[in-house]
Amino acid sequence: MLETILAIAGKPGLYRLVSRGNRSLIVETLDKTKKRMPAFGTDRVISLADIAMYTDSEEVPLRQVLKNIFEKEGGKIASVDPKKASKEDLAEFVGDVLPNFDRDRVFPSDMKKLVQWYNILVENGITDFDEAMQETEGDNIDSRKA
């Protein structure tokens, strides 16, 4: 499922891949408006399935981090508000779900984005993070780091 959920650099929120155009992707916002728009080759588009977070020893796929948050929060919206939380609060929250995250390479903006993305996914009923883990288990994917 996370393979079709996209982040577009410079644009807020998350997008669902709807279709592929001739020279673009057709995406739909994951909010109440469900606005559709093209994402062109010049846009930096990345699937959530291709993102990982740095830890002290390895990179952990974003789907595993999202699953850990889901389990910690009992399937509800995150208990920390990413817009109002301090850097320390965000670091503590991420430390609870990924204890060995690399505090030097995971920036507060990354932690804020992680919580925002988690909230967007839960609000839209996208909570099956295990499905993505089974589909890509064993694949060697060159991941972008969060």
Q: Tens digit of pLDDT for each residue in 20-53?
A: 988 899 999 998 889 999 999 899 999 999 999 9
Rounded mean pLDDT, 101-106: 94
Same domain, 122 and 57: yes
Instruction: Count other Cβ atoms within 10 Å, centred on residue 143.
Output: 16
Sign for the CA dihedral angle at 60, 132, 113, 18 comes to positive
Q: Are 131 and 5 in contact (CB under 8 A)?
A: no
Locate 98 and state its tokens: 């990924």
Predicted TM-score (pTM) of this structure: 0.84
- pLDDT over 90, % of the chain: 77
Q: Are 26 and 38 in contact (CB under 8 A)?
A: yes
Grade residue 100 by pLDDT with cuts at 50, 70 and 90: very high
Number of domains in the chain: 2
User: What pLDDT is attached to residue 1?
Assistant: 74
The beta-strand segments (E) located in 58-143 are 59-61
User: What pLDDT is attached to residue 131?
Assistant: 56
CATH of the domain at 76: 1.10.10.1650
- pLDDT over 70, % of the chain: 89
User: What pLDDT is attached to residue 137?
Assistant: 40
d(CA 42, CA 101): 31
Same domain, 78 and 138: yes
